Structure 1
Amino acid sequence: MKLLVRNLARTTTEQEIQELFSAHGTVAECTLVLDKETGKSKGFGFVEMPNAKEAKMAKAQLNETRVGTNRIRVKFAQDKEQQPDTKS
């Protein structure tokens, strides 16, 4: 399951996110979204957890927790092809 992690401090690293979620299960992939021009964090990222039960537990345990000075938000990510077409 893919989780969206929002409201990260701009200084938070992929390794910090990986360690945070690894405490709740297996993390297959962790991606911090970076600004193309500056190379700095945009304040959100994605965590892929192959075990759905672990992903749900991580979401429940980590949503609204403090990481540094920020209170992060964790929710299930939607694939782009699953999102409704709003251009009509």
Structure 2
Amino acid sequence: MKLLVRNLSRSTSEQDIRVLFSEFGSVKECCLVLDQETGDSKGFAFVEMPEHEEAKAALNKLNMTKLGKNTIRVKVANS
């Protein structure tokens, strides 16, 4: 299941996101979206977790929680 993670701090790294979601299970892919010109984070990422139940648990537990100073939003990504 692919999840969209929004409202990330510009200083949040792909590794930070991977570690956070790994608490709920296997992370197949983590992609922090970067501005092509500046290389800076755009404040959102996609996380793919192969196990549906693990992804649902991560979504339910992490949506509207704090990561750094920001309250992140997690939802199922549109296919």
TM range (shorter): over 0.9
Letter in 2 for 1:51: E
Superposed CA offset, 1:13-53 (max 9, x none): 00000000000110000000000010000000000000000
Distance 2:6 2:41 in 1: 11
Distance 1:73 1:50 in 2: 20
Q: 4+ residue runs of structure 1 moved beyond 2 angstroms?
A: none
| Structure 2 match to 1:84 | none
Let me know the Cα RMSD of the aligned residues.
Answer: 0.3
3-state SS of paired residue (1:37): coil
Distance 2:25 2:56 in 1: 10
- CA shift, 1:74, in A, is 0.1
| Structure 2 match to 1:55 | 55
Task: Mark the runs of 5 or more structure 1 residues left unpaired by the alignment.
Answer: 80-88
Question: Which is higher, the Rg of structure 1 or of structure 2?
Answer: 1
3-state SS of paired residue (1:46): strand
3-state SS of paired residue (1:71): strand
Task: Mark the runs of 5 or more structure 2 residues left unpaired by the alignment.
Answer: none
Distance 1:49 1:67 in 2: 19
Q: Does 1:18 align with 2:15?
A: no
Structure having the larger proportion of residues in strand = 2
| Structure 2 match to 1:66 | 66
| Structure 1 match to 2:76 | 76
